[in-house]
Structure 1
Amino acid sequence: MRVLALIALLPGPLQAGVLAAARTLPAGTVISASDLRAVDSDRPGLSDPSQAIGLQTRITIYEGRPIHANLLRAPRLVSRNQIVRLSFQRGALRIETEGRLLGDGAAGDLVRVMNLDSRNTITARVMADGSLLAGR
């Protein structure tokens, strides 16, 4: 009961340090340490810079606005309509060809891709080097 009385006596809302945009960050910006600043805010947001640095903004984040995890994503390695190396591997068999992406993708994402030789659409996983691996 004493704790509730003490909280009721505190002036205004409690403020905590959160990360905010140091400048306006357009959609697609990969965040660096210089893009962040700590601010006191009663609004929720990320507080650890390591949770934001290296990630890409989904939408434009305006200067001074708190940064939330749902506004960020892993950086896109491949983009729609990009021509990429497409590999299929099963045991010792490895087939490589070119494909056209039908959507964007980050490392580990499953994306649809059209095989340029056969014109078939398949699903492949985006690898860390930007290549695509099908058949897994």
Structure 2
Amino acid sequence: MRRRNALLHIRTAVLAFAMLGGAAQAADQEVVLVPNRVIYPGETIALSSLKEITLKPGKVRPDAVATLADELDGRIAKRTLLPGRYVPITALREAWLVDRGASVQVVFASGPLMISAAAVTLEPGAAGDVVKVRNLDSGKVFTGTVMADGSIRVGAI
């Protein structure tokens, strides 16, 4: 009997804390960014094309959406983004560091050995992307990782 009463008190306390937590979240109204005009695929998102909205009390921002300035500014839209709607993270990509057909420096480094060659990219890529390139001297096609400086790093096969 005592155990049953103790469990009832614990459940009541947990429920009270949950309700207080929900009230605190409702009091803190979240401000999010959404497009203020249609943003088309391939367009760079600028802060001027976004507007701030305050969520209604009790409304929670979905997890898989970008609503902060650092998540949106300078990113590229992969699909049409509509005004007043949340922007799914999957609808954004980083800006390309190398475009298709660009001349790039390809670097292989292993310990003290460093080999570099000129190549042409066969597909665009952002930093960290794996892209196909063609060696200008041999014509061989291989893959490499785009580095932050725009060069391509390759490894041993």
Alignment TM-score, normalising by the size of structure 1: 0.75
Which SS does the other structure have where 1:133 is aligned? Answer: strand
Tell me if the contact between 2:67 and 2:86 (Cα under 8 Å) persists in the aligned partners. no
Task: Write the letter of the residue equivalent to 1:73.
Answer: R
Is 1:71 matched with 2:91?
yes
Tell which structure's C-alpha radius of gyration is larger.
Answer: 2
Could you give the per-residue CA deviations for residues 28-76 of structure 1, whole angstroms, max 9, x where no partner exists? Answer: 2232221211246789543322221232211232444431111101111
Is 1:81 matched with 2:105?
no
Matched with 1:32 is 46
Task: Give, in whole Å, the separation in 2 of the partners of 1:32 and 1:103.
Answer: 25
Task: Give, in whole Å, the separation in 1 of the partners of 2:66 and 2:131.
Answer: 29
* Structure holding more helix per residue: 2
Task: Give, in whole Å, the separation in 1 of the partners of 2:105 and 2:37.
Answer: 37
Aligned length: 125
Give percent identity, aligned residues only: 36
Task: Give, in whole Å, the separation in 2 of the partners of 1:38 and 1:46.
Answer: 13
Tell me if the contact between 2:34 and 2:67 (Cα under 8 Å) persists in the aligned partners. no
Matched with 2:19 is none
Could you give the per-residue CA deviations for residues 5-50 of structure 1, whole angstroms, max 9, x where no partner exists? Answer: xxxxxxxxxxx75432123323222322212112467895433222
Q: Which gives a bigger RCO, structure 1 or 2 (Cα 8 Å, sep 6+)?
A: 1
**Worse-matched range after superposition: 80-89 or 39-48:** 39-48
* Structure holding more strand per residue: 1
Cα deviation, residue 110, structure 1:
0.9
User: Which runs of no fewer than 5 residues in structure 1 stay unpaired?
Assistant: 1-15
Which SS does the other structure have where 1:97 is aligned? Answer: strand
Task: Give, in whole Å, the separation in 1 of the partners of 2:66 and 2:116.
Answer: 42
User: Which runs of no fewer than 5 residues in structure 2 stay unpaired?
Assistant: 1-29
Task: Write the letter of the residue equivalent to 2:81.
Answer: I
Alignment TM-score, normalising by the size of structure 2: 0.66
Q: What's the C-alpha RMSD, in Å, of the aligned pairs?
A: 2.6
